[in-house]
């Protein structure tokens, strides 16, 4: 069975600062990895996904994530935070071609002006 652990339930950054959200996964088979964002009172939106191609994945809204097999990590970054990035972010894992995603507990991002 696969699972993810998101380190830090809450992250606060200044506008313009680096956003770094940590995700470590556990999987007995090659994983597919995903980051989703949830804005208040809305459903989730896919930011990016890793499906065994390039290890550095670029997503929407300036986010990117790097798959590091040796560290079993898939951390999400954005070089410069914007106020509109305030939301909850979820890391998820599935087995390749089996889209029964297991989600992490989520990390809430607040952006300070």
Partner 1 sequence: DSGVTQTPKHLITATGQRVTLRCSPRSGDLSVYWYQQSLDQGLQFLIQYYNGEERAKGNILERFSAQQFPDLHSELNLSSLELGDSALYFCASSLGGEPLHFGNGTRLTVT
| Interacting residue ranges for partner 1, rule: CB under 8 A | 32, 34, 41-46, 49, 90, 94, 98-106
What is the distance between the alpha carbons of residues 53 and 9, in angstroms, rounded to a whole number? 29
Q: Least CB distance from residue 15 to partner 1, whole Å? A: 27
Between 70 and 84, name the residue whose CB sits nearer to partner 1: 84
Question: Least Å distance between CB 36 and partner 1?
Answer: 8
- Residue closer to partner 1 by CB (options 51, 77) is 51
């Amino acid at each position: 069975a696969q699972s993810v652990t998101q380190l830090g339930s809450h992250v606060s950054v200044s506008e313009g600062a680096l956003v770094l959200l940590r995700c470590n996964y556990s999987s007995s088979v090659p994983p597919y990895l995903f980051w989703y964002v949830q804005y208040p009172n809305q459903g989730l939106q896919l930011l990016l996904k890793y499906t065994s191609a390039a290890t550095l994945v670029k997503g929407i809204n300036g986010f990117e994530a790097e798959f590091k097999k040796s560290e079993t990590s898939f951390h999400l970054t954005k070089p410069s935070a914007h106020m509109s990035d305030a939301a909850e972010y979820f890391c998820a894992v599935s087995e390749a071609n089996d889209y029964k995603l297991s989600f992490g507990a989520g990390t809430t991002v607040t952006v300070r002006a």
